[in-house]
Structure 1
Amino acid sequence: MKQFFPLLTAAAFVLGTPALAQEAATSNWSKGDHSSLRLIAGATAPSGKQRVGVEIVMAPGYKTYWRSPGDFGVPPVFDWSGSTNIGGLDVRWPAPERFQDSAGYSIGYVGEVVIPVSVQPVDPAKPVMLVLKLDYAVCEKICVPATGETRLWLEPGVTSVTSPRLESFEARVPVPVKLGPHKEKPSVIEAKLDDEVVDPGLRLVLQVPPDGKVEDVFIEGPGMWSFGKSRLSQQADGSLVAQIRINERPKGAAGPIPFIFTLRGTPKSVETRLELDIPVAKP
């Protein structure tokens, strides 16, 4: 009986199937005063893209920011220029949370985050040297600029590894969905200017699965658009209405404007991209 597991491992190797996945490679930590940064490798995707995570761990009580940081804060700035064999990069953001600052709301991550990145090699048969310089901010009561620099060697075609940290945050990346109902996910049914409130704003009609929930709505527009915290109200027909104040809009912005709507919720956060016809602002 003691020989069973070695024989099973050897048989799996001969058949070309790994018996146990190994832990994925990681870079060294780049340590700062209130945070640390490193890269985590994941298994190569079926498309040939390399899966990587940018992990930021912060001191207790500190936070960092999403791609759209809200009223205050600075989004991370990625510099991959020192890398080799990279044909393209796709940064995919986990659904953020909203936190209150002294005079408004900001959007980001508290304590820790792993930001997934898909790396397309120029030559998929050759290794990738991934070199990252990241400028970001970590904040408690005040914000402190931080810079991290690290690198990671990625071998091609590595599929027999596991990376629980990366995988858990990949699961939090919003799923793209089109405007309209979706049975198993929260969705935006309708989006328009809100004429029922004094302040200018947007009105969204949302559909939520019976066992689901929408916790918050984040809206992004091109340029200096700024939106308030969503006010959610359940309707008699089972739908959910979100009213969002427009705090600021770019001067002269009018006509078809592209927006990104991110619904943070369960069983899955979603992202919907659509255009709204915005009239000229009243003087």
Structure 2
Amino acid sequence: MSAVQRLLTLLAVLAAALATPALAQEAAMSPWSKGDHASLRLIAGATAASGKQRVGVEILMAPGYKTYWRSPGDFGVPPVFDWSGSTNIGGLDVRWPAPERFEDGNGHSLGYVGEVVIPVSVQPADPAKPVMLVLKLDYAVCEKICIPVKGEARLWLEPGVTAVTSPRLERFEARVPAPVKLGPQKTRISVLEAKLDEGAIEPGLRLVLQAPPEGKVEDVFIEGAGMWSFGKPTLSLQPDGTTLALLRIVDRPKGAAGPIPFIITVRGKPAAIETRLDLDIPAAKP
């Protein structure tokens, strides 16, 4: 091979290398903050197209231990986030994966067993500058009894980092319920109807849900401002293919009546969904 041919070959290899995107690297993560039966850390994801930084709060628990969702159910306490030590933060949005339901004493609680990554979207105050994310988290882990845990973690986020991958964060981001409006959906679970179940012996809500072909409704969680509390849903498949969900009202704020805002979260296949709506609730009977 002549010197000219060797030079042309070298140039071709260099051009191919420059045209090939760099392989995505594992995203940055903080050291573990260890507590009793659980550890906490922050993990970063690629910067979103919107410019928001994607971050996950990872909690790893000892075998058999669990922690709680934003609405913990009959027992337990939700995590409390303190981001006040952070810098260059314009806004934060904690995005909760759909929880599991588990028996807890004489009732049911909602949360996560073994491991959870809670995704967080961070809007930098100045997108051109780095973000220092500092988290202090108060949370509880439970086996037979609940143990309070405190964790602290910090993570430096460079702006515009896209060539990274974070499989753990991405796996739990896929479990965050998709927001949908009341009414039929083509490819997602639908909330077709939501109203007070006037025919029930005890006050409750009546939901008509529909999953797409090969889909399935697995559980329903309802949240309302204040002291609203609902029992475990009774799910029944109807002849028309819809799923009827009946939920007893266990507790309600004193004097609550009229249009009441609720969040309905449905866990199932192909993915969880979340519907926010107002329901006309009459005053409780004396």
TM-score (normalizing by structure 2): 0.94
Q: Which runs of 5+ in 2 are unaligned?
A: 1-9
1:118: how far off?
A: 0.3
Equivalent position SS for 1:275: strand
Identity %: 79
Q: Measure the CA separation in 2 of the matches of 1:87 and 1:14.
A: 36
Q: Root-mean-square deviation (CA), in Å?
A: 1.5
Q: Which amino acid aligns with 2:61?
A: M
1:13: how far off?
A: 6.2
Counterpart for residue 124 of structure 1:
127
Residues 53 and 11 of structure 1: is their aligned pair in 2 closer, same or farther, counting only changes over 3 Å? Answer: farther
Q: Measure the CA separation in 2 of the matches of 1:231 and 1:277.
A: 22
1:14 equivalent in alignment to 2:56 = no
| Residue number among 208, 211, 215 corresponding to 2:211 in the alignment | 208
Instruction: Give the total of aligned pairs.
Output: 277
Counterpart mapping for 1:75-224 below 5 A: 75-224=78-227
| Residue number among 246, 253, 258 corresponding to 1:255 in the alignment | 258
Q: Which amino acid aligns with 1:256?
A: P
Q: Measure the CA separation in 2 of the matches of 1:274 and 1:146.
A: 34
Query: C-alpha deviations, 1:229-264, integer Å up to 9, x for none?
Result: 000011111111000000000000000000000000
Q: Measure the CA separation in 1 of the matches of 2:73 and 2:21.
A: 45
Residues 243 and 170 of structure 1: is their aligned pair in 2 closer, same or farther, counting only changes over 3 Å? Answer: same
Query: C-alpha deviations, 1:82-109, integer Å up to 9, x for none?
Result: 0000000000000001000111000000
Equivalent position SS for 2:59: strand
Q: Measure the CA separation in 2 of the matches of 1:269 and 1:259.
A: 17
Q: Measure the CA separation in 1 of the matches of 2:127 and 2:207.
A: 43
Q: Measure the CA separation in 2 of the matches of 1:46 and 1:168.
A: 19
1:282 equivalent in alignment to 2:285 = yes
Equivalent position SS for 2:220: strand
1:65 equivalent in alignment to 2:44 = no
1:7: how far off?
A: 8.8
Q: Which runs of 5+ in 1 are unaligned?
A: 1-5
Q: Which amino acid aligns with 2:87?
A: T
Equivalent position SS for 1:156: coil
Q: Measure the CA separation in 2 of the matches of 1:124 and 1:13.
A: 30
Rg: which structure is higher?
2
TM-score (normalizing by structure 1): 0.95
Counterpart for residue 37 of structure 2:
34
Equivalent position SS for 1:169: helix
Q: Measure the CA separation in 2 of the matches of 1:241 and 1:142.
A: 35
Contact 2:256 2:283 in 1 (8 A): yes
Q: Which amino acid aligns with 2:18?
A: V
1:183: how far off?
A: 1.8
Contact 2:22 2:163 in 1 (8 A): no
